Amino acid sequence: MRTLKHVCVMFLALAALTYAAAQDQSSTVMSPPKVLTIAREFVKPGKSGSPHDKTESAFVQAARRAKWPTHYLAMNSVSGKSRSLFAFGYDSFEAWEKDQIAQQKNTSFADALDRAYIADGDLLDSVDSSVLLFNQEYSLNLKDEHVTPATRYFEIAVYHVKQGHRKDWDDGMKIVLAAYQKGLPQAHWACYEAVFGAPENTYVFFIPRKSASEIDSDFAHNKDFAEAMGEDGMKKLEDLSAAAIESSETNLFILNPAMSYVPDEWGKADEFWKPKAAGMAAATPKKPAEKPAH
């Protein structure tokens, strides 16, 4: 989504949270969930890598033993402050609540998570969490692109819209979406709006990547967006951007199979997701149903 980020030079430069997916457990495809909860762990210097993979694997192994139905994706920052993101998708807030209640009632599972929290906590500088709601209107071409076992990266862009300027933001988004559909029909992203744990009017965009070469391709096609916009359109977009956007930031994250709890089908579809590929003897990934403290 580098192209989209470039557009942001005038309107859209997206930034740092994360996107998981509502899971079809019989499939290797993940579609954007309606409710997305994101746990962020800021790791102490020198504690990332294999030490964090090891403590996180305890959450994954506990989830596998319990055959927990809620899966999640974990990723590590490539840019920005060192941190790990854990994304959990739900069909509704009610489904999220039911998952939390079920987790509390399963005492053996809850005890295993408590032990894992203690070990994991020694490596962390801080943690936080947020809850996002899917925005279909500002998303692009999701029918053609989903998260699959071939996904390796996420570009995540966060926009903070000025109070009283949602109309300017909406007008700018409509222009951007129309230009992408015209000049870059292959582009795709999922948009979420923060409802808890982030400032009001915060929008988060997630672009899954199969390889870094897709980023190169986006930069190479920046001119296609400008041509689709036209000189007058670019000027209008620049004005709307100045009026609507308080701040924005884009960061790159790489998926971590050792800390992700994915369906078994993913390991069968791609060696990357198999436990041994994650460097663990048993299963790898992380905590089921989001970590409450995050």
Q: What is the pLDDT of residue 224?
A: 87
Query: Taking residues 93-108, what's their average pLDDT?
Result: 95
261-292 core/surface letters (b: 16 or more CB in 10 A; e: else): bbbebbbebbeebbbeebebeebbbbbbbbbe
Q: Is the pLDDT of residue 196 over 70?
A: yes
Task: Indicate the domain borders of the chain.
Answer: 2-278
Query: Taking residues 24-46, what's their average pLDDT?
Result: 82
Query: Taking residues 42-49, what's their average pLDDT?
Result: 92
pLDDT band of 156, cuts 50, 70, 90: very high
- Which of these CATH numbers, 3.30.390.30, 3.30.70.100, 3.40.630.30, 1.10.10.10, describes 2-278? 3.30.70.100
Looking at the DSSP assignment, which residues form a beta bridge with residue 80? none
Q: What percent of the chain has pLDDT over 70?
A: 82
Q: Is the pLDDT of residue 110 over 70?
A: yes
Residue 16 contacts residue 161 (beta carbons within 8 Å): no
Please give the backbone phi and psi of residue 14, each rounded to the nearest 5 degrees, phi first. -70, 155
Q: What is the pLDDT of residue 142?
A: 81
Q: What is the pLDDT of residue 275?
A: 67
pLDDT band of 95, cuts 50, 70, 90: very high
Q: What is the mean pLDDT of the chain?
A: 84
Q: Is the pLDDT of residue 278 over 60?
A: no
Query: Taking residues 85-103, what's their average pLDDT?
Result: 96
Measure the CA–CA gap between 31 and 114, rounded to whole angstroms.
30
Q: Is the pLDDT of residue 119 over 60?
A: yes
What is the helix (H) or strand (E) element at residue 237, kind and residue range? Answer: helix 222-244
Q: Is the pLDDT of residue 5 over 50?
A: no
Tokens 């436990």 locate to: 275
More confident residue, 289 or 88: 88
Measure the CA–CA gap between 118 and 125, rounded to whole angstroms.
13
Per-residue tokens: 268: 């069968």
Q: Is the pLDDT of residue 189 over 70?
A: yes
Measure the CA–CA gap between 275 and 279, rounded to whole angstroms.
7
Per-residue tokens: 3: 């192209």
Q: What is the pLDDT of residue 281?
A: 34
Per-residue tokens: 188: 């795709």
Please give the backbone phi and psi of residue 250, each rounded to the nearest 5 degrees, phi first. -125, 135
Q: Is the pLDDT of residue 285 over 80?
A: no
Q: Is the pLDDT of residue 91 over 90?
A: yes
Radius of gyration of the chain (CA): 19
Q: What is the pLDDT of residue 23?
A: 39
3 state DSSP class of 240? helix
Tokens 């994250």 locate to: 253
Please give the backbone phi and psi of residue 103, each rounded to the nearest 5 degrees, phi first. -65, -40
pLDDT band of 225, cuts 50, 70, 90: confident
Q: Is the pLDDT of residue 17 over 70?
A: no
DSSP category for residue 246: E
- Determine the distance from the C-alpha atom of residue 28 to the mean position of all C-alpha atoms in its chain, rounded to a whole number: 17
Q: What is the pLDDT of residue 185?
A: 85
More confident residue, 10 or 160: 160
Q: What percent of the chain has pLDDT over 90?
A: 71
